[in-house]
Amino acid sequence: MTSGVLSEPDTPVRLGWTVRLSASVLGFWLVVVTPVLALLPLHIEQLDPADKERDLAIVTAVAAVVSIVAAPICGAFSDRTTSRFGRRRPWILGGALVCAAAMAALAAQATVFGVVVCWAVAQGAQNALYSGVSATVPDQVPVRQRGFVSAFVGLPLPVALVLGTLLVTQLVTDRTGGYYLLAGLLLVCVLPFALTTKDTRLPRAERPPFRLSRFLAGFWISPRRHPDFAWAAVSRLAIQLANSIATLYLLYFLRDEVKLPDPGSGVFVLIVVYTVGILGTSVVAGRLSDRSGRRKVYVIASSCVIAVAMLILALWPTWPAAIVAAGVLGLGYGVYAAIDAALITQVLPRASDHGKDLGVLNLANTASQALAPAIAGAIIATLHSYSVLYLVAGAIALVGALLVRPIRSVR
């Protein structure tokens, strides 16, 4: 017999809880994307202007490896946590505190090696934080609410792209102040959720004995035994890969293909349009999906809309068409981000392994970011064609839509 901590949740969560959850995810994304977009490139350039491209590649590569390792491991250990504060809260709070400290330390680094170490620590802490936050949804949110709640989990990423860039380029323009600002915002965003959320304690009697071989073997989730989980994972990989390919060379596309005089400002405009599109569809789609109980049709339809956005970029490389494509992409991705996140929570193999399984599945996001440069770079280097690049991205999005269809346990 299992305790309530491992039972399917049936008590509805309140809007205030959902807003605090969303705020904690916003804090997470602010410290993930803003340094990469604005602070780290400037920091590296100040330390080693001659080899800034190589150094930045090293910093991001080391952080990516840390992220790949930390995500499932932190999730797995959070599943086993028997703290009186619950399974997830210690990881959410601890991850936020360590990340904030690492960001503050990062501001003082005067060597590339110091930047590598501090950013790697920050990445590990970010994954500890996110493993706790993401597992809270299947732990505490009933299935009938997951589309709506998942929409609030998906919204912070595009908001963080715009807000973070504005904060460190307009409000606090010096690098050191930017790091401190992000560290403080992380705590402001995360602490209300971490300190007020009830998190049922896992009884020690229900935690299986730790055996290293069994622990490591648990990271392999058999596609034969859990086919729906496997289909959901490869579908997410495909659609996130399409999105990563489409955005990777956006600056160069605007400069070299569209011939936009100020491509940097153009990218920011497109991000804003994209964000507005997401805000326009995410919550509404989540609510409609919850009411109908259907997830797959929304994921398939939104993936097709994403493919349409890629087609617009491929066939009409003009500034007005790029704005339209950004809006279409936002509309489609807003639906996809909300509903796919809800669908994923319904194909997790075991309630006792939510953290670990979500950590494994989130590797699809990391893998897509690793594969995108190789695929996009090969296309541009050999064919010198942005049209082909976006057609390939659109085709991959359609493949992702088809991969959702075999899932049987979710409508």
Domain final residue pick, 182, 200, 218: 200
Does residue 221 form part of some domain?
A: no
- Give the integer Cα–Cα distance in Å for 277 and 320: 16
Does residue 8 form part of some domain?
A: no
Looking only at Cα atoms, what is the longest distance across the chain?
Answer: 66
The answer to whether residues 32 and 148 belong to one domain is: yes
Predicted confidence at residue 320, as pLDDT, reads 96
Does residue 191 form part of some domain?
A: yes
Q: What is the DSSP annotation of 114-138?
A: HHHHHHHHHHHHHHHHHHHHHHHHH
The answer to whether residues 115 and 74 belong to one domain is: yes
- Give the integer Cα–Cα distance in Å for 409 and 411: 7
The answer to whether residues 265 and 335 belong to one domain is: yes
**Nearest C-alpha neighbor of 402 from the set 288, 304, 333, 293:** 304
- Give the integer Cα–Cα distance in Å for 221 and 227: 9
Whether 162 and 271 have beta carbons less than 8 Å apart is answered as yes
Q: What is the pLDDT along the chain (411 residues), one digit of tens a residue?
A: 345 677 788 899 999 999 999 999 999 999 998 998 789 988 988 999 888 878 888 888 888 889 889 999 999 999 999 998 999 999 999 999 999 999 999 999 999 999 999 999 999 999 999 999 999 999 999 999 999 999 999 889 889 988 988 888 888 888 899 999 999 999 999 999 999 998 988 888 888 888 888 888 888 888 889 999 999 999 999 998 898 888 777 878 888 899 998 887 888 899 889 999 998 899 999 999 999 989 999 999 999 999 999 999 999 999 999 999 999 999 999 999 889 989 999 999 888 889 998 988 888 777 787 788 788 888 888 888 899 999 999 999 999 999 999 999 888
Q: Which residues are CB-neighbours of 112 under 8 A, at least 6 positions away?
A: 44, 47, 48, 55, 58, 59
**Nearest C-alpha neighbor of 350 from the set 269, 250, 229, 261:** 229
The answer to whether residues 241 and 387 belong to one domain is: yes
Predicted confidence at residue 255, as pLDDT, reads 86
The answer to whether residues 76 and 182 belong to one domain is: yes
**Number of domains the chain is built from:** 2
Instruction: Please state the pTM of the whole predicted model.
Output: 0.88
Does residue 409 form part of some domain?
A: no
pLDDT in tens, 156-199: 988 998 898 888 888 888 889 999 999 999 999 999 999 999 89
Predicted confidence at residue 47, as pLDDT, reads 92
- Give the integer Cα–Cα distance in Å for 243 and 365: 10
Count the helices and strands in the chain (H runs, E runs). 17, 0
The answer to whether residues 172 and 26 belong to one domain is: yes
The answer to whether residues 149 and 247 belong to one domain is: no
Coil, strand or helix at 202:
coil
Q: What is the amino acid identity at position 233? A: A
- Give the integer Cα–Cα distance in Å for 345 and 352: 13
Does residue 4 form part of some domain?
A: no
The answer to whether residues 174 and 282 belong to one domain is: no
The answer to whether residues 310 and 182 belong to one domain is: no
Does residue 280 form part of some domain?
A: yes
Does residue 123 form part of some domain?
A: yes
Does residue 395 form part of some domain?
A: yes
Coil, strand or helix at 220:
coil
Contacts 24+ apart (CB under 8 A), 207-211: 207/80, 207/82, 208/80, 210/80
Instruction: Quickly list H helices, 293-404.
Output: 296-315, 319-345, 354-361, 363-383, 386-404
Q: Which domain holds residue 303?
A: 227-404
Predicted confidence at residue 2, as pLDDT, reads 47
The answer to whether residues 255 and 127 belong to one domain is: no
CATH code for position 166: 1.20.1250.20
Predicted confidence at residue 161, as pLDDT, reads 85
